[in-house]
Amino acid sequence: GDIISEEQVRRRMKIIAPYTKWVRSFSCTEGNEFIPKIAREMGIKTLVGAWLGDDSEVNEKEIAGLIQLANDGFVDIAAVGNEVMYRKDLSEDELLVFIAKVKKEIPSHIPVGYVDAYYEFTIKPRITAACDVILSNCYPFWEGCPSDYSLNHMKQMYHQALDAAQGKKVIITETGWPSLGESLKESHPSRENALKYFIN
């Protein structure tokens, strides 16, 4: 619900600009629409997401915002939703309608995808088929994986998404390891584990 100012976005983008070629945004409202515009000014490519949930009014605004940003030339990859299937905020059919709408209303050279946990692309083949690019979240930590095996496990997650993609590009949109917090089965947060995972 916080509104992000253009100045806040500009200040943060200046900090990361020397270190990255791409930036991902999760929403096209509440000031998040400044992210791809300022990224473009700084020569950074953009993966721009519409945040979809269980509020149809917000969903419509997000989709309209994504379409507008894409048509104005600020989007390199369009992401229609993030973990909507995982959270069960929408039905598969509802998500497919949004994906189809975005594909129809933005320039055809902009790839359209959907972001979710890697296994969703195996169990939801209609969504996988509707995407131009597969945007896969891979978190060995959340599957209770010991940190020593985390890199291999992340590779398995990626390859499962790759198999489901049937030749389409797969991008790992999220991964990481926590430095603090509670353990999950054999996954233990620590500064050392987080650093090792990042370096690997």
Per-residue confidence in pLDDT tens, the chain, 200 aa = 799 999 999 999 999 999 999 999 999 999 999 999 999 999 999 999 999 999 999 999 999 999 999 999 999 999 999 999 999 999 999 999 999 999 999 999 999 999 999 999 999 999 999 999 999 999 999 999 999 999 999 999 999 999 999 999 999 999 999 999 999 999 999 999 999 999 99
In degrees to the nearest 10, what's the CA dihedral of 193, 198, 199, 200?
A: 80
Q: Which among 122, 51, 129, 131 has a CA at the least distance from the CA of 83? A: 51
Q: What's the predicted TM-score (pTM) here?
A: 0.95
Rounded Cα distance, 120 and 123, in Å: 5
Residue 106, token pair as written in the block: 């933005």
Closest residue by Cα to residue 146 from 154, 138, 158: 154
- What distance in Å separates the CA atoms of residue 200 and residue 194, rounded to the nearest whole number? 10
Q: Give the Cα separation of 19 and 165 in Å (integer).
A: 30
Count of C-beta atoms within a 10 Å radius of residue 96: 18
